[in-house]
Amino acid sequence: RHPLATFFHLFFRVSAIVTYLFCDWFSNSFVACFVTILLLLSFDFWSVKNVTGRLLVGLRWWNQIDEDGKSHWVFEAKRVPTIAASTEAEARIFWLGLIICPVIWTMFFFSTLFSLKLKWL
């Protein structure tokens, strides 16, 4: 039902990983690589919070401040027990993308730590 949202959910994540892997080949500037990766991950965060989370799995969250000045996070999720097969596939893609990419970043962390490339850590 939402192929464009599914595409961009994976596009920003995979683009950040590919940029991290191959940026050193195309540019000698660490700052340019860092800023590009940071922007891609920022776009990913924004799209997950505001677009793909809502469209693909029905998530919403926001911050409310009560009269006492205390901050409270409000979370909502879709409560539909029966969903269509296309929506189920999109939900699976959403959650797999949300879980697998941090696992890949963790592997990058340990590989750069053990190879002593602390600049890329």
pLDDT, one tens digit per residue, over 56-101 is 888 888 889 988 989 999 888 776 655 555 578 888 888 899 999 9
Between residues 88 and 120, the one the model is more confident about: 88
Burial class (CB in 10 A: 0-12, 13-18, 19+), 40: buried
Q: Residue 81, SS3?
A: coil
Is a pLDDT exceeding 60 seen at residue 117? yes
What is the model's pTM?
0.78
**Predicted pLDDT at 80:** 62
Domain boundary assignment for the chain: 3-120
**Predicted pLDDT at 59:** 85
Q: Nearest-CA neighbor of 35 among 27, 101, 50, 99? A: 27
pLDDT, one tens digit per residue, over 38-49 is 999 999 999 988
In 1-115, beta strands by DSSP E = 60-65, 71-76
pLDDT, one tens digit per residue, over 3-32 is 898 999 999 999 999 999 998 888 888 889
Distance from the first to the final alpha carbon of the chain: 38
User: Left if phi > 0, otherwise alpha if psi is -120 to 50, otherwise beta: which for 116?
Assistant: left
Q: How confident is the model at residue 112 (pLDDT cuts 50, 70, 90)?
A: confident
